C-alpha cells in the first residue's frame, strides 16, 4: 500500500493525466493533493473534474485546500450572499468567474469538501498547503475541532494555507513581500513538533525540497518545472520516491 502526495497542479491537466498514468495506481493507494489544483494554468476546470473523477474511481483520495481553493470558496460564498463583492473579486481576478462557470454542482461540492489538513499517523505525516508558523503552540487533531473554534481563531489557523516566511524573533507569519532578510522560510526553522510536514505553495523549480522535518512538493508545474508525486511505500517509508512529469512553462513565476 502506498501513500501518494501530489504537488500544486494549477490547471496543468495533461501533465496531471500523464502523472496519474505513470503512477500505475492500485486500488489500495491513498492519494493526497496538497492544494492549488486550480488557477494560473490552461485547464483548471479539467483538473477539478479529473480529481473528482479519481475520487470516485479510488477509495482514498483527499484534497487539502490551497489558498486558491480558499479564494474560490470565498468567491462562491459571495455569489450567494453578496453579488457586489463577488463582482469586484472577479473584476480583479477574472479566473474566479471563468473557472466557476465551467464547474458542475458536483465539482463544487467536491471543492467545498476540501480539508484544512490531513494526517497520516502511521508515517507521522501532516499535510498542509502552506506551512507552520513558529508561534503555533498546538495543532488540532481533527477538522471538527477547528469548526468548533471562534471565527477569529479559525482565521488565524487558516494561515497554514499561506505561510511562507516567519518573523525572525517572534516566529509569527510574515505577509508576502513584507519579509526581512533575516526572516526565515518556515520549514528551515520548523522543529517537527506536529510531525513531518508535506506541503505545497512554495514553488521549488529545482525539484522536491527536503527540510529536516518537512518536504516541499510544489515543483512549479505551471512555471515550467515539474508536476510531482511523492510516494511512500508502506514497506519502505524511510525512503519516499519522487515520480514527476516535466512541464513547459505556462505562466510567469509569480508568488501569491
Residues that bind Mn ion (CB under 5 A): 36, 66-67, 201
CB of 242 to Mn ion, least distance (A): 20
Contact of 39 with 95, CB cutoff 8 Å: yes
Closest to Mn ion by CB, 157 vs 233, is 157
Q: Provide the total of helices (H) and of strands (E) in the chain, helices listed first.
A: 9, 10
Instruction: Please compute, for residue 149, the number of CA atoms within 13 A of its CA located in the half-sphere on the CB side.
Output: 15
DSSP code, position 246: E
User: Min. distance of Cβ 233 from Mn ion in angstroms?
Assistant: 28
Taking the complex as a whole, how short is the minimal distance between the CB of residue 73 and Mn ion, in angstroms? 14
Residue placing its CB nearer to Mn ion in the complex, 2 or 32: 32
For residues 107 and 218, which CB has a smaller minimum distance to Mn ion in the complex? 218
What 8-state DSSP symbol labels residue 63? E
Shortest distance, position 201 Cβ to Mn ion, whole Å: 4
CB distance 177 to 183 below 8 Å: no
* Nearest-approach distance from CB 8 to Mn ion, in angstroms: 6
The residue with its CB nearest to Mn ion is 201
Q: Cα-flanking dihedrals φ and ψ of residue 255, to 5°? A: -90, 135
Minimum separation from the CB atom of position 203 to Mn ion (A): 9
DSSP state of 202: S
Q: Quick one: which H or E segment has residue 22?
A: helix 13-23
What span, in angstroms and rounded, lies between the C-alpha atoms of 232 and 13? 24
Q: Of 30 and 201, which CB lies nearer to Mn ion in the complex structure?
A: 201
How many CB atoms are closer than 10 A to CB 158? 16
**Cβ distance to Mn ion smaller for residue 220 or 240:** 220
Residue 66 or 216: which CB sits closer to Mn ion? Answer: 66
Instruction: Find residue 230's DSSP bridge partners.
Output: 5, 242
Amino acid at each position: 500500500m502506498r501513500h501518494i502526495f501530489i504537488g500544486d497542479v494549477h490547471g496543468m491537466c495533461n501533465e496531471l493525466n500523464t502523472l496519474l498514468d505513470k503512477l500505475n495506481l492500485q486500488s489500495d493507494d491513498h492519494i493526497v493533493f496538497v492544494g492549488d489544483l486550480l488557477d494560473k494554468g490552461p485547464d483548471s476546470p479539467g483538473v477539478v473534474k479529473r480529481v473528482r473523477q479519481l475520487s470516485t474511481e479510488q477509495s482514498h483520495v483527499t484534497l487539502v485546500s490551497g489558498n486558491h481553493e480558499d479564494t474560490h470558496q470565498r468567491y462562491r460564498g459571495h455569489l450567494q450572499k453578496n453579488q457586489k463583492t463577488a463582482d469586484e473579486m472577479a473584476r480583479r481576478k477574472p479566473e474566479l468567474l471563468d473557472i466557476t462557470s465551467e464547474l458542475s454542482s458536483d465539482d463544487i461540492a467536491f471543492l467545498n469538501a476540501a480539508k484544512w489538513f490531513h494526517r497520516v499517523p502511521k508515517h507521522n505525516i501532516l499535510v498542509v498547503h502552506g506551512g507552520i508558523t513558529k508561534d503555533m503552540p498546538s495543532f488540532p487533531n481533527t477538522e471538527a475541532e477547528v469548526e468548533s473554534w471562534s471565527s477569529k481563531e479559525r482565521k488565524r489557523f487558516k494561515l497554514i494555507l499561506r505561510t511562507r516566511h516567519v518573523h525572525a524573533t517572534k516566529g509569527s507569519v510574515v505577509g508576502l513581500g513584507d519579509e526581512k532578510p533575516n526572516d526565515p522560510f518556515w520549514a528551515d526553522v520548523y522543529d517537527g513538533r506536529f510531525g513531518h510536514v508535506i506541503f505545497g505553495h512554495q514553488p521549488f523549480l529545482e525539484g522536491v525540497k527536503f527540510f529536516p522535518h518537512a518536504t516541499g512538493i510544489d515543483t512549479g508545474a505551471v512555471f515550467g518545472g515539474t508536476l510531482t508525486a511523492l510516494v511512500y511505500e508502506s514497506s519502505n517509508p524511510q525512503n519516499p520516491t519522487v515520480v514527476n512529469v516535466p512541464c513547459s512553462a505556462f505562466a510567469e513565476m509569480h508568488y501569491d
